[in-house]
Amino acid sequence: MKDRPLPPVAGPERERFVQQAQLDYQDFAIVGDATWTYDDGVLTLRVDLKR
């Protein structure tokens, strides 16, 4: 887990904070939706980009 300070109340710093939080969530959601296989010590994640 990242050690994040409280978000800024307003201004450009808050906008950057909100954008980063959205990107972090998107990344987690993509990995969470992936299907996976584990063969010969290799973990493969497959992401359906057609949805």
The pLDDT score that the predictor gives to residue 9 is 74
Q: Collapsing DSSP states into helix, strand and coil, what is residue 6?
A: coil
Which token pair is 33? 């939706």
- Give the residue extent of every domain in the chain: 1-51
Burial 19-51 (b: 16+ CB within 10 A, else e): eeeeeeeeeeeeeeeeeeeeeeeeeeeeeeeee
**pLDDT 10s digits, 7-37:** 667 788 888 888 888 888 888 888 899 999 9
Q: Collapsing DSSP states into helix, strand and coil, what is residue 17?
A: helix
The pLDDT score that the predictor gives to residue 6 is 67
Partners of 34 in the β-ladder: none
